[in-house]
Every structure is written in C-alpha cells, then in structure tokens.
Amino acid sequence: MQDRGWWLVAALSGALVVMAGAFGAHALAGQLAPRLAAAFETGVRYQAWHTLALLAVLAWRASQPQAGQRLAMGLWAAGMALFSGSLYAMALTGATGLGMITPIGGVLLIGGWLTLAVAVLRARPPGQSPSGSA
C-alpha cells in the first residue's frame, strides 16, 4: 500500500474513533452493563492511540523511509480491527465469545510496536551514509 493509502486508513480510523467515542458517550450511556461499557471505551482508547501512532510513523516516513515502518502500520491496522472491533461488537451484541478475538488483536498491536522498535534500531540518522560517514 502506498503512503497515500495509509494516510486514508489513519484519517478514516480517526473519524471512526470520534464517532465511536460520541456514540459510546451519548447513545450507549446507561444502555450497557458497566463491563460492556468499559470494554467499548477500551476499544475506543486503543484505537485512538494507535491511530495517532500511524500518523507519527507516516510523518517519520515522509522524511526518513525505513524498512519495517509499513509492517508496523499494517500490524497496527489489523490489530485495531481485531482488538477494538471485537470489543465494539461484544459491547453492542453482548456476544462474549467475540472476546476470544480480542487477544489476537492485542498480539498484533504489540507486534507492531516491536516491529517499530526494530525499525528504529536499524534506522540511520538523517544525513548518515550507509558506510557510517556523513
């Protein structure tokens, strides 16, 4: 996926975060059991943080493209879909069996962060040539 596609993913995820947050705060207020309301809020919070992380990596890529950045973003996107998506679905439907999907999404989110750590460790400082001299 080109960076333009990743910008679109981040923008749509940001819009969804705002809509889900507003829906949870207004339409679902008092409608869900406290445990399900907390699950919905957790989904919103994790999606929001990872949307911001996508934006940060995209900004980094604009000045210093590195191997691993796209993989990290892909892991986060898949992780948000499975982690937050399963929490949203569980809260809205009460189908607690969907909770089995949530940890898979969490592992993908963690994998994205670890992939980002490797990309950072492998990154050359700006202006440094591959041989190590400026």
User: Residues near 53 by Cβ (< 8 Å), separated by ≥ 6?
Assistant: 76, 112, 116
DSSP reduced 3-state for 65: coil
Answer whether 67's CB lies under 8 Å from 118's CB.
no
Express each pLDDT in 116-127 by its tens digit.
999 999 987 766
Structure tokens given for 10? 């981040």
Answer whether 51's CB lies under 8 Å from 98's CB.
no
Q: Determine the residue type at 74.
A: G
Express each pLDDT in 59-105 by its tens digit.
999 999 999 999 999 999 999 999 999 999 999 999 989 889 999 99
Q: Where are the domains of the chain?
A: 3-122
Instruction: Residue 114: name the closest of 74, 55, 56, 72 by CA.
Output: 72
Q: Running DSSP on this structure, what letter comes out for residue 123?
A: P
Q: How far apart are the C-alpha atoms of 99 and 83, rounded to whole Å?
A: 9
What is the model's pTM? 0.90
